[in-house]
Amino acid sequence: MPGLKHEKACLAPVAGVDEAGRGPLAGPVVAAAVILPARGTPRGIDDSKKLSAAERARLCGLIQTRAVYGIGIVEPEEIDRLNIYWATMKAMTLAVDALVAKLGCAPGHVLVDGNRLPRWSYPATAIVSGDAHSLSIAAASVVAKHTRDGIMLEHAATHPQYNWHSNKGYGCARHLAALREHGATPIHRRSFAPVAAVVGGPQSMLVL
């Protein structure tokens, strides 16, 4: 279970940052930044991938009630323009900027899931598998995942043939079959290879 070892080694307040939605063929990439309260942190926070949808929903509500948080969203059109790496970095930056606007000051330190940091001025540390080690990052993973899933459920109501209520935009067999049969929707990422193959567009190159 994630703990507070990394947070205790940093200047407070410490924000955890994580994203959801790098891999899907459709929908936005969403990042969240969370500063947990000194007291009253919800119990049961873990890497969002290890939690059920119902548990993520419960924890997300508690985190948003008790913590300071910010959310950053980058839509598919901008993902295609920037590529997914830079779009993810932008989503993380937007999330921390939104948190700062609520907090009224910059965090003392930012812990980011992964091995790279956005180009920002905040003091920060990248932690590989951070959602398994840092409670703040795990909380951010819960908020980001639940937020993105909610967005995809809204889109699923408009485009039910892609099965987004289940796959959330990832390229499972049913989604790929629907993509070939029905073509791409406005929220498909046209720079991703399976979508580019359908629409005839170029695939994106990952520029670090």
Which of these, 191, 203, 158, lies nearest to 29 by C-alpha position?
Answer: 191
97 among annotated binding-site residues:
no
**Which pLDDT belongs to residue 200?**
79
SS3 of the chain: CCECHHHHCCCCCEEEEEEECCCCCECCEEEEEEECCCCCCCCCCCCHHHCCHHHHHHHHHHHHHHCEEEEEEECHHHHHHHCHHHHHHHHHHHHHHHHHHHHCCCCCEEEEECCCCCCCCCCEEEECCHHHCEHHHHHHHHHHHHHHHHHHHHHHHHCHHHCHHHHCCCCCHHHHHHHHHHCCCCCECCCCHHHHHHHCCCCCCCCC
Q: Are 53 and 174 in contact (CB under 8 A)?
A: no
d(CA 198, CA 144): 29
Distances (CA, A) of 141 to 18, 147, 200: 5, 10, 34
Flag whether 18 is marked binding.
Answer: yes
pLDDT of residue 202: 55
Which pLDDT value is given to residue 203?
53
CATH topology of domain 5-157: Nucleotidyltransferase; domain 5 (3.30.420)
Pairing of strands 109-113, 14-20: parallel
pLDDT digits (tens), the chain, 208 positions: 899 999 999 999 999 999 999 999 999 999 999 999 999 999 999 999 999 999 999 999 999 999 999 999 999 999 999 999 999 999 999 999 999 999 999 999 999 999 999 999 999 999 999 999 999 999 999 999 999 999 999 999 999 999 999 999 999 999 999 999 999 999 999 999 999 999 875 554 333 2
Domain ranges, ordered by start, for the chain:
5-157
What is residue 189's predicted lDDT score, i.e. its pLDDT?
98
Annotation-wise, does 113 bind a ligand?
yes
User: What local confidence, expressed as pLDDT, does residue 207 receive?
Assistant: 32
